[in-house]
Amino acid sequence: MQQALADESGRLVLELHRALSEIDPARWHAGAADAARLKLRAIEAKVAHLTSQSWPEKSAALRVKLAEVGAALAERLPREDITAANARARWMAFRKSMTPSYEALQATLHQLEIHVPSLRPTNHRRSLFHVLNAAVCMGILYAVPDPAWAIAISGPLVLWAWTMEIGRRWSERWNAVLMRAFAPIAHPHEWRRVNSATWYLTAIFSLSLTQAPLPCAVGLAVLGVGDPIAAFVGRRWGRIPLVHGRTLEGTLAFFAAASLFGVGAAFLFAPGIALGAALAIACAAGAAGALAELLSLRVDDNLSIPLVASGAAALVTWGLGL
């Protein structure tokens, strides 16, 4: 009984995730308000029906979080009589107000080993920061006289990042200070999870230990470009859902962009490489990175994408005898 209710809750939260993801500046259009209202009213009714059932005591916390989401939907859903000029702002504010309730419900499901995606609104500053980070890391890797320098540079940075993570677990005030400082590029769920930037630095440090500049550079290109492009295309034009909130359009965009920039990275770090070899390395890394981005739910994709993409690039590099 407990597992059945938890599973049904997970499916309902996935439905809520899809509905809230549609309320995004990148996807909003005339007529979106009516469609969003219908979907969310239906979800509200399903939540009311589910929470009205008899729940085991062990699932009481989940029932409470579901009820809170249902109440939030009932109270905050924008009225039908708002003007068209105000509709966009009201709906964006509604989504923002729903995020804490959704994330709390997601965390409760996570404790029951049911994993649903976090809400990730469009954030162009974060995407630009993502690309610039990869470019800077590739520039450092290219400029240092020996790959071992990358360890000396990334080691202190990853140590600093994890020190900050430990500190904000001990102090709510310190956590609030850090999250306010990084608010322009942070996602809401990072208030209670390890920050994606920490995972990014962990991946960079791990790659530096391999002392293999070509696969590392391709992996960084895949992460730096593929992930933001997938997010942009998926939110704006994604219509065919895959898994974990991803779309086919976003995944294909990831592969295409990551492969293209991966070829550039291959030529930069191996000037004499043949075009066919560069394409093979880049496409393998792009495909592996896209798959990692698609399937990463329990592991942050800022860690999984560069490691998996670099691993694929290294495997093809070895197979080609380079």
What range defines the domain where residue 79 resides? 2-111
pLDDT exceeds 80 at position 162: yes
Q: 111, 144, 160: which is the final residue of a domain? A: 111
Q: How far is CA 160 from CA 204, 235, 246, 250, in A?
A: 14, 33, 32, 33
pTM of the model: 0.79
- Shared-domain flag, residues 134 and 278: yes
Split at pLDDT 50, 70, 90, the class of 156 is very high
| Residue 117 domain flag | no
Q: 62, 79, 111: which is the final residue of a domain? A: 111
Amino acid at 84: A
State the pLDDT at residue 81. 66
- pLDDT tens track for 31-83: 788 888 999 999 999 999 898 888 887 788 888 888 999 899 989 888 876 66
- Report which of residues 256 and 193 the model is more confident about: 256
Split at pLDDT 50, 70, 90, the class of 259 is very high
| Residue 176 domain flag | yes
| Residue 34 domain flag | yes
Q: How many domains, the chain?
A: 2
- What is the C-alpha to C-alpha distance for residues 174 and 187, in angstroms, rounded to an integer? 17
- Shared-domain flag, residues 315 and 279: yes
- What is the C-alpha to C-alpha distance for residues 98 and 74, in angstroms, rounded to an integer? 11
- Shared-domain flag, residues 65 and 152: no
- Report which of residues 116 and 277 the model is more confident about: 277
Split at pLDDT 50, 70, 90, the class of 84 is low
Phi, psi of 241 (to 5 degrees): -70, 145
pLDDT exceeds 60 at position 246: yes
Q: 111, 134, 167: which is the final residue of a domain? A: 111
Mean pLDDT (whole number) for 282-309: 91
The token pair at 154 is 């990334």
